[in-house]
């Protein structure tokens, strides 16, 4: 998928990078699974959880779980296994970038939550430091790495690293409140990403820079309004959905005593506001670019709906949280 545009050198480069590093991470993950099976003799989630609860945890089991987590970290593009994401996001066709930014993350985070509920909770003392370390590192690398980006897809790649860092921070609590907060954050992140990429897919891959959004606040004010709502939600500005998602994560972390991690997330959130607001500044205050985008009505509806969901979700936040608790 990453190298689907065979006429683009960037797309081919993205495909080679993703294939090579993905194959390596898959090997590490499979090795971890083989270690886990070799030391426990179990492959079923519930039986594996019971085994870990009733038997002594050996180093072989710990290494197996750590290798599995490393594989997850790569596929989720979380630091320090994020190096592939900016190049692949930029080089791949935009529709493929949209897929990488949403579908794999939804599936892998859901699977990781299932793994945590059954197995990792029994080895919390071994794996919790990993969650804390990678979440803090991810939000900081995301915030400061995105500051100098001019390509929108590279910027969103760094942004996604930070958002997954927030999810990992919530999961590091190893409690139901953290899991529920992570799921809420994931849902809101996916909705917002779909809304943003619904616009970006119509821009030529070679012109996907912040400068190409210049002036659309005057040329296409309704579209600019919806994009601004999505960007402000990504940055966590109240009372938008992104703020609500971050609020519940902060609440869970503080209630669990993770004050230092909470402060790290706050610093990263403040820094990230700069590059989101920089895009909005370009849309409304920079000189209009000459590029014209033939905007599809269907995709405009998707962007609009995603924006409105982010705008009004605070009215139904209790219902959403109750639904997530019920599903959890």
Name which of 302, 313, 156 is nearest 226 in CA terms.
302
Name which of 15, 322, 258 is nearest 128 in CA terms.
258
**Cross-strand pairs, 22:** none
Residue listed under structure tokens 């971050």: 246
Q: Give the model's confidence band at 185: pLDDT under 50 very low, under 70 low, under 90 confident, else very high.
A: very high
Mean pLDDT to the nearest integer, 266-293: 85
Whole-number percent of the chain with pLDDT over 90? 33
List all residues 6 or more positions away from 212 whose beta carbon is below 8 Å from its beta carbon: 203, 289, 291
Q: Is the pLDDT reported for residue 190 higher than 60?
A: yes
Mean pLDDT to the nearest integer, 226-252: 92
Conformation bin of residue 292: beta by default, left when phi > 0, alpha when psi is -120 to 50? beta
* Residue 120 pLDDT: 66
* Residue 128 pLDDT: 86
* Residue 58 pLDDT: 84
| 241, containing H or E segment | helix 241-255
Q: How many CA atoms lie within 13 A of 299 on its CB side?
A: 16
Mean pLDDT to the nearest integer, 65-78: 88
User: Rounded mean pLDDT of the chain?
Assistant: 85
**What are the CA-CA distances from residue 176 to residues 49, 56, 89, 299 (Å)?**
17, 25, 33, 36
d(CA 61, CA 55): 11
**Cross-strand pairs, 151:** 209
Between 325 and 196, residue with greater pLDDT: 196
CB 197 within 8 A of CB 94: yes
Mean pLDDT to the nearest integer, 170-176: 88
Q: Is the pLDDT reported for residue 293 higher than 80?
A: no
CB 118 within 8 A of CB 46: yes
Query: What is the end-to-end Cα distance of the chain in Å, rounded?
Result: 32
* Residue 42 pLDDT: 80
Q: Is the pLDDT reported for residue 279 higher than 70?
A: yes
Q: Give the model's confidence band at 281: pLDDT under 50 very low, under 70 low, under 90 confident, else very high.
A: very high
Residue 289 gets which letter from DSSP? P
Whole-number percent of the chain with pLDDT over 70? 90
d(CA 152, CA 139): 18
Q: Is the pLDDT reported for residue 326 higher than 60?
A: no
Q: Is the pLDDT reported for residue 244 higher than 70?
A: yes
CB 156 within 8 A of CB 70: no
Mean pLDDT to the nearest integer, 69-95: 85
* Residue 141 pLDDT: 94
The CA-CA-CA angle for residues 192, 198, 200, to 5°, reads: 105
Q: Is 4 helix (H, G, I), strand (E, B) or coil?
A: coil
Any idea which of 36-45, 69-78, 203-212, 308-317 has the lowest mean pLDDT? 203-212
* Residue 243 pLDDT: 93
Q: Give the model's confidence band at 259: pLDDT under 50 very low, under 70 low, under 90 confident, else very high.
A: very high
Integer Rg of the chain from CA: 20
* Residue 168 pLDDT: 93
Q: Three-class SS string for 70-119?
A: HHHHHHCCCCCCCCHHHHHHHHCCHHHHHHHHHHHHHHHHHHHHHHHHHC
- Reported as a single tens digit per residue, the pLDDT across 218-238 is 888 898 899 999 999 999 998
Q: Give the model's confidence band at 104: pLDDT under 50 very low, under 70 low, under 90 confident, else very high.
A: confident
Q: Is the pLDDT reported for residue 328 higher than 60?
A: no
* Residue 93 pLDDT: 82
Q: For residue 6, count CB atoms less than 10 angstroms from its CB and return exposed for 0-12, middle for 13-18, buried for 19 or more.
A: exposed
CB 69 within 8 A of CB 43: no
């Amino acid at each position: 998928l990453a190298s689907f545009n065979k006429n683009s050198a960037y797309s081919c480069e993205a495909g080679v990078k993703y294939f090579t590093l993905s194959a390596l991470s898959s090997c590490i993950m499979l090795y971890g699974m083989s270690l886990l099976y070799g030391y426990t003799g179990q492959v079923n989630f519930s039986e594996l959880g019971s085994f870990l609860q009733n038997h002594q945890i050996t180093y072989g089991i710990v290494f197996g779980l750590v290798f599995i987590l490393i594989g997850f970290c790569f596929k989720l593009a979380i630091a320090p296994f994020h190096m592939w994401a900016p190049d692949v996001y930029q080089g791949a066709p935009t529709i493929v970038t949209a897929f990488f930014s949403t579908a794999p993350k939804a599936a892998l985070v859901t699977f990781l939550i299932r793994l945590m509920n059954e197995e990792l909770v029994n080895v919390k003392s071994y794996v919790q430091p990993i969650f804390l370390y990678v979440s803090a590192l991810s939000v900081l690398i995301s915030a400061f790495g995105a500051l100098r980006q001019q390509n929108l897809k590279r910027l969103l790649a760094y942004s996604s690293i930070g958002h997954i860092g927030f999810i990992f921070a919530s999961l590091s609590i190893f409690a139901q409140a953290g899991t529920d907060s992570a799921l809420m954050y994931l849902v809101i992140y996916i909705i917002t990403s779909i809304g943003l990429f619904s616009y970006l897919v119509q821009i030529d891959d070679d012109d996907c820079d912040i400068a190409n959004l210049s002036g659309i606040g005057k040329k296409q004010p309704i579209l600019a309004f919806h994009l601004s709502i999505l960007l402000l939600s990504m940055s966590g500005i109240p009372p938008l959905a992104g703020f609500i998602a971050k609020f519940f994560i902060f609440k869970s972390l503080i209630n669990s005593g993770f004050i230092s991690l909470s402060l790290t997330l706050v610093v990263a959130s403040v820094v990230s506001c700069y590059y989101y607001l920089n895009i909005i500044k370009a849309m409304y205050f920079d000189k209009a670019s000459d590029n014209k985008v033939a905007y599809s009505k269907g995709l405009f509806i998707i962007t609009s709906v995603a924006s409105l969901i982010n705008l009004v979700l605070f009215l139904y936040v209790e219902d959403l949280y109750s639904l997530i608790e019920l599903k959890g």
